[in-house]
Structure 1
């Protein structure tokens, strides 16, 4: 049995215990307020049972419901919210129309109320903590619901203590509790309805997803990004533009983005990435050079003082632009190959031609992750290497 299910089952037991204790002492003391609070706890049993059933059903997937029954949890949280609001109504009605009676066994009843408040408070804190950990909206809602018992118990306690001084505080405290109940229940109700109506994910989650997508070097734009909750789980969809004209590589990049989002954002059930490869008209080739004056290809990638960046037109394989980039990492002691690879990717390189073998080395993995092609040449100059690839000046 998973943690969330255990906590939901514990809620049923806690509420049953509170109902028995409160009802017994309400009969012993003659307190109408405590009796009403006892039936409030009984309504909590129903609400907690709804949460328990909701968590179990929510995990099921069938042919009729291939996306799962996650929203059952949100239905449960809406039911809890309605129970909270009904409890507020009962307390308000009791405060307006209840009659004052001489209380009996006040000391024992106060001890009972203090015990009930303590049990409800400890469970509410624990359930809220677990609910946030596992991302369960119904558990968080149930924790808030039982937390209402603390407030209602406080109102009853105030009335009992006031009876010693001859003051009737039940009605005043009851209206304060009703206001808090209305706020708490209303918020849970609205949150649950938002999910049931497929409202968008919160800004923080969407912003995190956007950053994870744009961290992929080959992504040039996000045309559309949206998401929705279903129970504790999230569904995210994005339409992106990739700086890649080969569909196989574009699919590989999209799958990597999907895996990254699923790993970094909690409780993601599904990520759908729609990608549009850029139909590029040009390609950029990079060559490590011995110096910035000639065309001699360096035997060392990371230590090369500069790089020749050659832009070619795809349709006729003609060179349309050449420039020299200075290597800013020649002074770095270790890991300069990886740093240089990332530097070239930032300059939109499509392919790297070297005399050095990359397989199994850091730069190879950097270029592979960015879908940058790498070629090994035996030629000494850039012109010779380009000619070997069938590329010539205009």
Structure 2
């Protein structure tokens, strides 16, 4: 099954945004650099150096995203970590920028900048970097791209460092010489941002586990399936903003055929529900429960009339002792789809699954669609004598959504 289609689309979109980031960083670096030289503002030139380093960082993000969309037989898990490597390059580039700015603070000789030239450029650069950084951050989170998120954080760091420059230039207009202090603050902030990014990247490269909240969502999703008793184990690791997961799932059924079918369906549903899961391995187990749940259609006003499965006005839910066959609990629930004019079998089948039955009694047949839905979920269909009903040949295909189903 081609499970990476959504992930590849996300990577393609992320690549386009990374390329736009390269162009914008280059423009910011040139504008700041020219204005810094023209105005004599060392802080603005240091900020231009930060943006110039970001050009390399954004290019690294684009290269990483380009590689992440490629396949190679030597990398069966995909090249998704190429994006993480690109993020590592970004973090190192940010730290180098902080070092260069800090070196000037210690050994440089500050002058008196021309505020009329430098201030408009600094304000404009701040607005552009902040707006694009927030946009890039939102897109990176939406696409699950660590490289885009890293690039966005770099833009936000750039905007804040530019804001410090703006403050120093405003102070200069009032006779306060804050150039060296502004450059020092820029250096420290950029170094902190780069160090934090480096730490997060190393965690990813060392196969850090997936986020606990995401793991809980996966487990809850798995356990909602009617044939799943519980998830025994869920281990996941990060892969460039995406996940590789191993699951041990305990099923209600003892049939290997049903277990294989349920596992395939669980895998398909998992990829559909969580597009950032690029590989999942589901191992099924059987738990010999002491009880099982049985659902039986109840007769209408005329108890002598045959009970048509999907049109039954109600169903009886019974909790049965697996060894003795004794009914321990019972409850009658009304069939909300008994009067449906179209798709009755499909609606009733899905409704029954919400009660997580182990078997359903179909004394007079369940109809092709309802039987297909129930069997696909691993539910046993039995007749009034308790014998398992064999699947009809026409039930092997996709169910038809008809009124009589």
After TM superposition, the score normalised by the length of structure 1 is 0.82
Q: Cα distance, 1:78 vs. partner?
A: 1.7
Q: Cα distance, 1:62 vs. partner?
A: 0.6
Residue number in structure 2 paired with 1:80: 90
2:380 equivalent to 1:373: yes
Q: 1:161 to 1:325 in 2, by over 3 A?
A: closer
Residue number in structure 2 paired with 1:266: 275
Structure 1 residues 1-394: aligned runs within 5 Å: 2-104=12-114, 106-278=115-287, 287-288=296-297, 299-301=307-309, 302-303=312-313, 306=316, 320-322=325-327, 325-329=330-334, 334=339, 346=355, 348-361=357-370, 364-375=371-382, 385=385
Hey, what's the Cα distance between the residues in 2 that align with 1:46 and 1:168?
A: 32
Hey, what's the Cα distance between the residues in 1 that align with 2:162 and 2:80?
A: 33
Q: For residues 301-358 of structure 1, give each alpha carbon's deviation from its aligned partner in whole angstroms, at most 9, with x where no partner exists.
A: 4335757777676xxxxx6435683423269875798669856884753352412442
Note the residue ranges of structure 2 that are not aligned, 5 or more in a row. Answer: 1-10, 390-405
Deviates more, 1:365-374 or 1:16-25: 365-374
Deviates more, 1:349-358 or 1:265-274: 349-358
Q: 1:100 to 1:271 in 2, by over 3 A?
A: same
Residues 42 and 179 of structure 2 are in contact (CA less than 8 Å); yes or no, is this contact kept in structure 1?
no
Hey, what's the Cα distance between the residues in 2 that align with 1:148 and 1:185?
A: 9
Residues 84 and 204 of structure 2 are in contact (CA less than 8 Å); yes or no, is this contact kept in structure 1?
yes
Hey, what's the Cα distance between the residues in 2 that align with 1:49 and 1:340?
A: 53
Hey, what's the Cα distance between the residues in 2 that align with 1:56 and 1:101?
A: 44
Q: 1:64 to 1:107 in 2, by over 3 A?
A: same
Q: Secondary structure at the match of 2:20?
A: helix
Q: Cα distance, 1:133 vs. partner?
A: 1.8
Hey, what's the Cα distance between the residues in 2 that align with 1:191 and 1:16?
A: 26
Hey, what's the Cα distance between the residues in 2 that align with 1:200 and 1:354?
A: 49
Residue number in structure 1 paired with 2:393: none
Note the residue ranges of structure 1 that are not aligned, 5 or more in a row. Answer: 314-318, 377-381, 390-394
Residues 349 and 372 of structure 1 are in contact (CA less than 8 Å); yes or no, is this contact kept in structure 2?
yes
After TM superposition, the score normalised by the length of structure 2 is 0.80
Q: 1:277 to 1:330 in 2, by over 3 A?
A: closer
Q: 1:350 to 1:170 in 2, by over 3 A?
A: same
Residues 286 and 309 of structure 1 are in contact (CA less than 8 Å); yes or no, is this contact kept in structure 2?
no
Q: Secondary structure at the match of 1:374?
A: strand
Residues 288 and 298 of structure 1 are in contact (CA less than 8 Å); yes or no, is this contact kept in structure 2?
no
Q: 1:120 to 1:342 in 2, by over 3 A?
A: closer
Q: For residues 119-165 of structure 1, give each alpha carbon's deviation from its aligned partner in whole angstroms, at most 9, with x where no partner exists.
A: 22232122222212211100110111122221222222222222222
- C-alpha RMSD of the superposition: 3.3
Q: 1:96 to 1:155 in 2, by over 3 A?
A: farther
Q: 1:306 to 1:78 in 2, by over 3 A?
A: closer
Q: 1:193 to 1:290 in 2, by over 3 A?
A: same
Residue number in structure 1 paired with 2:392: none
Residues 342 and 366 of structure 1 are in contact (CA less than 8 Å); yes or no, is this contact kept in structure 2?
no
Total equivalences in the alignment: 371
Q: 1:65 to 1:310 in 2, by over 3 A?
A: closer
Hey, what's the Cα distance between the residues in 1 that align with 2:334 and 2:158?
A: 64
Hey, what's the Cα distance between the residues in 1 that align with 2:92 and 2:181?
A: 23
